[in-house]
Amino acid sequence: MKLFVGLGNPGAEHAFNRHNVGFMAVDAIATAQGFPAWRKRFQGVATEGRLGRAQVMLLKPGTYMNESGRSVDEAVRFYKLALDDVIVFHDELDLGPGKVRVKTGGGVAGHNGLRSLGAHVGNDYVRVRIGIGHPGAKELVTRHVLHDFAKADHAWLEPLLAAIADNAPYLADGAPDKFQSRVAHAMQTEEDALEQGRAREPRKREAKPSSKPDAPPAETSLGSKLRRWLGS
């Protein structure tokens, strides 16, 4: 059994916060990999299925970020898991937006969710660090992480979550380096495609006035996909 934990805060008001990108990652995995419906377990919600050769439980603690360790500790004790079977997805200020790095153990760098995990289960679990970028000043960090992703972030966030979901079986099979390289390759391919598209895009003509009433703006692709991943 592998335990994939997404870190975040419960509640619709937090669903699209940068701090909730761990929740978004496991939601994307659950949808893309055909996991069953979420149900209440371990002071949070969980779902279980197969990834690669492993049985995997996805867990979203419902204890709020600062107490994430309580939920994870219950699951670890119930299944008698070693910490190298625990993979935690979380936001990372020290990585640029769209970057992903995998490592085992380490410090908490001021992240309250990681601090709580360290207090309850120790620090030697596997971490999938999802870059959200740094706002540039320490006093801006809280606002940065607790606010929704900006519209400009949509171009990289959607393909990043899709790449994480598609390549999650490598993590379950104990191949974190391959997971990291495949995600990086997917993101580079996406960036190259966007650059080529911009280079080929013709200059837009000035729109003519229309007598028809304005249509309501379409929902962004990210918004629709995330709502599907989040089950809302």
Tens digit of pLDDT for each residue in 97-151?
999 999 999 998 889 999 999 999 999 999 999 999 999 999 999 999 999 999 9
Contact 117, 125 (CB under 8 A): yes
The share of the chain scoring above pLDDT 70, in percent, equals 84
For residue 157, what are its two tokens?
A: 């966030």
Burial class (CB in 10 A: 0-12, 13-18, 19+), 117: buried
Among residues 19, 90, 111, 144, which one is catalytic? 19
Measure the CA–CA gap between 217 and 223, rounded to whole angstroms: 12
Q: What is the per-residue pLDDT for 216?
A: 39
Q: What is the per-residue pLDDT for 114?
A: 96
Residue 186 has pLDDT above 60, yes or no: yes
The pTM for the full model equals: 0.86
* Catalytic-residue membership of 14: no
Residue 164 has pLDDT above 80, yes or no: yes
pLDDT band at 46, cuts 50/70/90? Answer: very high
Measure the CA–CA gap between 69 and 111, rounded to whole angstroms: 12
Mean pLDDT of 164-172: 97
Contact 22, 44 (CB under 8 A): no
Residue 217 has pLDDT above 70, yes or no: no
Measure the CA–CA gap between 90 and 220, rounded to whole angstroms: 24
Domain 2-196+217-229 adopts which CATH fold? Rossmann fold (3.40.50)
Mean pLDDT of 69-84: 97
Q: Residue ranges per domain, the chain? A: 2-196+217-229
Q: What is the per-residue pLDDT for 26?
A: 98
Residue matched to tokens 């079986």: 169
Residue 198 has pLDDT above 90, yes or no: no
Measure the CA–CA gap between 7 and 64, rounded to whole angstroms: 9
Contact 59, 75 (CB under 8 A): yes
Residue 214 has pLDDT above 80, yes or no: no
